[in-house]
Amino acid sequence: MKKLDRKEIAARVARDIPEGSYVNLGIGLPTLVADYIPKGREIILHSENGILGMGPKPAPGTEDPDLINAGKEPVTMLPGGAFFHHADAFGMIRGRHLDFAVLGAFQVAVNGDLANWHTGAPDAIPAVGGAMDLAVGAKKVFVMMEHLTKRGESKIVERCTYPLTGARCVDRVYTDLAVLDIKPDGVHVVDIVDGLSFDELQRLTGVPLKKLATAA
Amino acid sequence: MIDKLVASPAAALADVPDGATVMIGGFGNAGMPSELIDALIEQGARDLTIVNNNAGNGDAGLAALLKAKRVRKILCSFPRQVDSWHFDKLYHAKEVELELVPQGTLAERIRAAGAGIGGFYTPTAVGTRLAEGKETRRIGERDYVLEYPIHADYALIKADRADRWGNLVYRKSARNFGPIMASAARITVAQVRETVELGMLDPETVVTPGIFVKRVVRISEAAKKAA
């Protein structure tokens, strides 16, 4: 079996985002997706600090401190881009104008519950940012994460044990082992990495999986 | 003649009382009104309630205000950062109160205050611990949580250009919280890079109309370099 690395997961997500989509890429792993959007496919990136039409990283020496993304990294603008204030930025999110949000996660439950903002540790300083808005607002919520924790436990779970970011909000999960659709009747396997069988994936995953009808 | 231009940050903030609620614009360093924050530290008001997206980075700006123990409470969405050590220390010592608000709810609560809205129902945070103890209501097919506006005594914001009526134009993503905070505070103070004659800002492109702004302070690039 060959696990996907972070870049390969990002490329796999990018493949599924169609031309013309408005997309918010979460901080961290999801940000990588921008680098793998196929050439010639026009996709408009939204940043919750007030940008539509975000472009790639600036060349060294041309960074502008007034032009940053939600992760506070310098970015550029594409021709046609726009700036707006924070309430509009989140109005776009909650108002169901974004086609996709791609988020990282600690856990995803079979019913689509998402946990990605808090480990639940009592002494941890909580910080939520825009995660809860993106989880409930985007038309489709994609999650990118490793399939297993460092201790080998499945991050796809029956019920989240970490505090929730949003209830029943995840549509699809991309991991280093598989692509899974969260549907009302359960978790469907869309894709498995080369060399891993359905049965082996089932053994590693904490919840019952369904084979996609077309893949059976 | 209306003239909202004020000579210095100190003059613009001289009347901030102890216990005031102060909104501070900016997202990270973009749009952070550094010179106004420095003047607020110098001015000495304490027991402040601060509204900002974060809780200070590094040792300057809001972090310095926290370090000086002038903040009683902070409302923000993302306090924990790699360089939020001053907040972290005060939080663990229980010397500052935190009200954690999802970012979009924070923005909308500020907008609501400025627009005279008494409250609103949002789908954000339903079913999470940030909605605990709050009224929820099913409207149509969805559940929503009731949120209230955040009003402020002062808003300190940064814009790019202003005229003497207080009309503002921002620069790139530094706009962020500026326009909504300007509307939500009793006294909004804007620091700007440049002031221009009345009529020089195209009315089609004014982002914050002067009705939301009480005082404008120009911080020239030359003054910045000298500092």
Q: Are strands A51-55 and A76-83 parallel, antiparallel or unpaired?
A: antiparallel
Over residues B147-160, the pLDDT tens digits come to 999 999 999 999 99
User: Vertex B141, ends B137 and B145: CA angle to 5°?
Assistant: 25
What mean pLDDT, rounded, does chain A reach?
95
Model pLDDT, residue B227: 62
CB spacing of A51 vs B173 below 8 angstroms: yes
Q: How far is B107 from chain A (nearest CA, A)?
A: 5
End-to-end CA distance of chain A: 20
Question: Mapping DSSP to helix (H, G, I), strand (E, B) and coil, where does residue A173 land?
Answer: strand
**Among A87, A94, A128, whose Cβ lies nearest the Cβ of B77?**
A128
Residues of A with a Cβ under 8 Å from any B Cβ are: 47-51, 64-68, 72, 77, 83-87, 89-91, 93-94, 118, 123-133, 136-137, 163-167
CB spacing of A49 vs B173 below 8 angstroms: yes
Q: Which one has a higher pLDDT value, A122 or A131?
A: A131
Q: How far is A174 from chain B (nearest CA, A)?
A: 24
Place of tokens 């209830």: A167
Q: How far apart are CA B122 and CA B130, in angstroms?
A: 12
Residues of chain B with Cβ-Cβ distance to A51 below 8 Å are 173
User: Where residue A213 falls among pLDDT bands split at 50, 70, 90?
Assistant: low
Model pLDDT, residue A215: 45
Residues of chain B with Cβ-Cβ distance to A87 below 8 Å are 107-108, 110-111, 179-180
Over residues A20-63, the pLDDT tens digits come to 999 999 998 999 999 999 999 999 999 999 999 999 999 999 99
CB spacing of B104 vs A126 below 8 angstroms: no
Q: How far is A201 from chain B (nearest CA, A)?
A: 30
CB spacing of B177 vs A85 below 8 angstroms: yes
Q: How far is A14 from chain B (nearest CA, A)?
A: 25
Residues of chain A with Cβ-Cβ distance to B110 below 8 Å are 86-87
Low-confidence ranges of chain B (pLDDT < 50): none
Model pLDDT, residue A120: 87
Q: Could you tell me which residues are beta bridge partners of residue A180?
A: A173, A189
Model pLDDT, residue A107: 98
CB spacing of A66 vs B171 below 8 angstroms: yes
CB spacing of B177 vs A129 below 8 angstroms: no
CB spacing of B128 vs A166 below 8 angstroms: yes
Over residues A152-201, the pLDDT tens digits come to 999 999 999 999 999 999 999 999 999 999 999 999 999 999 999 999 99
Over residues A136-151, the pLDDT tens digits come to 999 999 999 999 999 9
Residues of chain A with Cβ-Cβ distance to B81 below 8 Å are 127
- Long-range CB pairs of A14-21 (<8 Å, 24+ gap) are A14/A38, A16/A142, A16/A172, A17/A41, A17/A43, A17/A100, A19/A43, A20/A44, A21/A99, A21/A100
pTM of the model: 0.96
Task: Tell me the one-letter amino acid at A4.
Answer: L
Rg of chain A over all Cα atoms, to the nearest angstrom: 17
Q: Is B83 left (phi over 0), alpha (psi -120 to 50) or beta?
A: alpha
- Please give the helix or strand (H or E) that residue A198 lies within, else none: helix A198-204
Query: Does ipTM surpass 0.90 in this model?
Result: yes
Model pLDDT, residue B225: 65
**Among B87, B122, B172, whose Cβ lies nearest the Cβ of A67?**
B172
Options A8, A19, A42, A48, the catalytic residue? A48
Q: How far is B1 from chain A (nearest CA, A)?
A: 31
CB spacing of B30 vs A68 below 8 angstroms: yes
User: Where residue A206 falls among pLDDT bands split at 50, 70, 90?
Assistant: confident
Q: How far apart are CA B56 and CA B21, in angstroms?
A: 17
Is A48 an annotated catalytic residue? Answer: yes
Residues of chain B with Cβ-Cβ distance to A65 below 8 Å are 29-30
Residues of chain B with Cβ-Cβ distance to A165 below 8 Å are 128
User: Where residue A216 falls among pLDDT bands split at 50, 70, 90?
Assistant: very low
